[in-house]
Amino acid sequence: MNKQLVTFLLGGLLSQELTAQSPQSFSAYDQQLPGTTVSFKMMPVKGGRFILGSPDNEKGRSKDEGPAKSVTIDDFWMGATEVTFDEYDVYADAEKDKTPVPDGMTRPSPPYIDLTLGMGKAGGFPANSMSQYGALMYCKWLYAKTGVFYRLPTAAEWEYACRAGATTAFPFGNDESQLKDYAWFKGNSAEKYHKVAQLKPNALGLYDMLGNVGEWTLDQYDENGVATAADNNPWTTPTAKMSRVIKGGNYTDAAPQLRSAARLKSDPVWNRRDPQIPKSAWWNADAPFIGFRIVRPAKQPSAEEIQKFFDDIIDKYKGAR
């Protein structure tokens, strides 16, 4: 691992903050961004076995959701909400980042247009329009800032947390008329995303798992990804920069796209308006409906394992989307 990064992680102030913020048990906790008043809540997700994908007779089902398969997921924490601009901008905007970062830590290039399209930014709106690479680089920055390994969820982890024990199409059952109580979607969003945590959470205390903005996962998209999923902690690892799996549906989608098992394949058309040559590695100018939330494994990997993750998943696929 980079010597400067190790030195930074072992710095006195950071070590004190980590001691104060580290959860003493597998329970909910708040993570503060050092040098700011910004924080986010992480909720525990107890691992177990569940049916990944959807049954053949589920309304709105797509072929890539099966055949459904029983898999096991380990314990992890998941963000109670989607990452907000209040959080992401501490990383993206050097003026808001009041503590040092290691040499070589890069920030997103400024977008050439207002990617929020006027829907809202400060005060609890979900960060949007970043590439998967931009989401993962935020996780890398978080590790440098906190010493805690955060990352995107795998598609299986995401679905397991979303279901919260349910085997129905939605975490609350099969009745689409209840969707408006849990999700911002085509039926109630007024064609825009909304501040996080304004509607009901699922049984694990996770808000906006359905709708609002779709959420990046770690998985490369494979139409047979569910059918070929490993028995334990399945993850379709990347072999190219595109495409990736997005989960949850978004504010433009109809109810079937918000089912727990639904999978969306990222599309190069999401960045067609970017006039830069080469196109930005950080943003999707035509995907204001995409955001992300983060997870933390219950057992933190070693420093060497974390660095290998950064090398193999982030650096190797710069600009992944």
What pLDDT score does 14 carry? 33
- CA–centroid distance for 246 within its chain: 9
What pLDDT score does 24 carry? 56
Q: How sure is the predictor about 278, in pLDDT bands with cuts at 50, 70 and 90?
A: confident
Both structure tokens of 24: 């003493």
Mean pLDDT, the chain, rounded, equals 91
Taking the domains of the chain in order of start, what are their residue ranges? 3-315
Kindly report the three-state secondary structure assignment for every residue of 106-148: CCCCCCCCCCCCCCCCCCCCECCCECHHHHHHHHHHHHHHHCC
Distances (CA, A) of 10 to 4, 16, 147: 10, 10, 8
Both structure tokens of 52: 């990944």
Beta bridge partners of 216: 246
**CATH number of the 3-315 domain:** 3.90.1580.10
What pLDDT score does 277 carry? 64
Whether the per-residue pLDDT at 307 is higher than 80: the answer is yes
Which of 84-88, 112-116, 279-283: highest mean pLDDT? 84-88
What pLDDT score does 103 carry? 74
pLDDT digits (tens, 9 = 90+) for 195-253: 999 999 999 999 999 999 999 999 999 999 999 999 999 999 999 999 999 999 999 99
pLDDT digits (tens, 9 = 90+) for 145-190: 999 999 999 999 999 999 999 999 999 999 999 999 999 999 999 9
Both structure tokens of 239: 């072999």
